[in-house]
Amino acid sequence: MSLDFVAIDFETASYERGSACAVGLTVVRNGCVAGSFYTLLNPKVPFAPQCIRIHGIREADVKSAPTFPEAWDEMRRHMGQLPLIAHNASFDIGVLDRLFSIWRVDPVPVRYACTLRLSRALCPGAPSHRLNDLCDYFRLPDFAHHNAEADARACALLLLEMARRRGADSLDALLRAANLRWSALPVCARTPAGSAARPTAATESAREACAPVFEGISFVFTGELSSMERQAAERAVQLRAGTVLGGVSRKTGVLVVGEQDPRVVRGPCSTKHARALELRDKGCAIEIVGEKVFLDWLRGDALELLRR
């Protein structure tokens, strides 16, 4: 395989992965940028102030934008059969997978690689492995960070620069140099809409035995859940073989974000939330999800998004 790929980047309206509000694609063929695609997306969900601060996209901006199903055909036309590249690919590919699920779009097999993982393996001396810092380190063109189109192009140029420095004439050769393998997004059957009711505090407390779907995963909660008390939510995790921690650390697998009390939380987000964002920006595999995704997991939906 030569240096043919599509770099992809999503921006989201909230910390739920299915809330994509913008997508950018950069098409690379034979080691050269050959095309691009960008669109805002209407996620049909409220925007979190914290996310607006990051990318500047507001609900009013996407009012007339296409939904993911409406944009998917054009996205797929640009993607073709090429592999996907993303910086912190577990996030962007997770967004794509979640979009397939919630919009009931037929998923396609996806093979992908991550420039964050590649940079850590190939550029251990870099002072930081954030996308913008790596582009500065390699003296690549400045770009508007957290603009999906600009981030996708920066990701593509970063991969090409790492390949040039390694003398790799294909993605396979670059992955071998980093001692990494391709990752794949499995094509999973989708749960039909309306097939299960959301759990409540009462049903959770009455449930005696659950599948151990959270085994090996540590959860942290911040804020108030509208569907159940914190104690019931923690018990639901434990019934599924998960662990509940009091604070966010590198051991945290999932942070569940509920409604924040403005009398307690000063600033755009809670201390736990801010710490999780900091660690995730450094490459830690921490899922930050809202109550809706957590409830989906409790009823056994979209479990493929859980990291192990």
For the chain, list the domains and their CATH numbers. Answer: 5-185 (3.30.420.10), 201-305 (3.40.50.10190)
DSSP three-state, residue 239 = helix
DSSP calls for 120-142? HHH-TT-S--SHHHHHHHTTPPP
Question: How far is 29 from 10, CA to CA, in rounded Å?
Answer: 21
Sheet holding 32-40, edge to edge: 32-40, 20-29, 5-12, 84-86, 110-114, 183-185
For CA atoms 218, 222, 228, 232, give the dihedral sign.
positive
DSSP calls for 12-37? ESSSSTT-EEEEEEEEEETTEEEEEE
Are 272 and 254 within 8 A, CB to CB?
no
Of the candidates 239, 237, 199, the residue with the CA atom closest to the CA atom of residue 218? 237
DSSP three-state, residue 251 = coil
Indicate the DSSP class of residue 259: B
- Which pair of tokens denotes residue 274? 């801010």
Share of the chain above pLDDT 70, in %: 88
pLDDT tens for the 308 residues of the chain, in order = 589 999 999 999 987 888 999 999 999 999 999 999 999 999 998 898 888 988 999 999 999 999 999 999 999 999 999 999 999 898 899 899 889 988 999 988 899 999 999 999 999 999 999 999 999 999 999 999 999 999 999 999 999 999 999 999 999 999 999 999 999 986 654 544 433 333 333 333 333 346 788 988 999 999 888 878 888 889 889 888 899 999 999 999 999 998 877 766 667 788 999 999 989 888 888 989 888 888 888 877 767 666 54
Are 120 and 284 within 8 A, CB to CB?
no
DSSP three-state, residue 235 = helix
Q: Which amino acid is it at 83?
A: P
**Ramachandran area for residue 216 (φ above 0: left; ψ -120 to 50: alpha; else beta):** left
Are 45 and 16 within 8 A, CB to CB?
yes
Sheet holding 243-244, edge to edge: 243-244, 218-222, 254-257, 287-290
> What dihedral angle (degrees, nearest 10) is formed by the CA atoms of 55, 56, 60, 64?
-50
DSSP three-state, residue 26 = strand
For CA atoms 258, 263, 266, 272, give the dihedral sign.
negative
Q: For 110-167, write each residue's pLDDT tens digit.
A: 999 999 999 999 999 999 999 999 999 999 999 999 999 999 999 999 999 999 999 9
Separation in Å, CA 151 to CA 11, 92, 129, 231: 10, 12, 14, 40
Question: How far is 119 from 223, CA to CA, in rounded Å?
Answer: 35
Question: How far is 71 from 153, CA to CA, in rounded Å?
Answer: 19
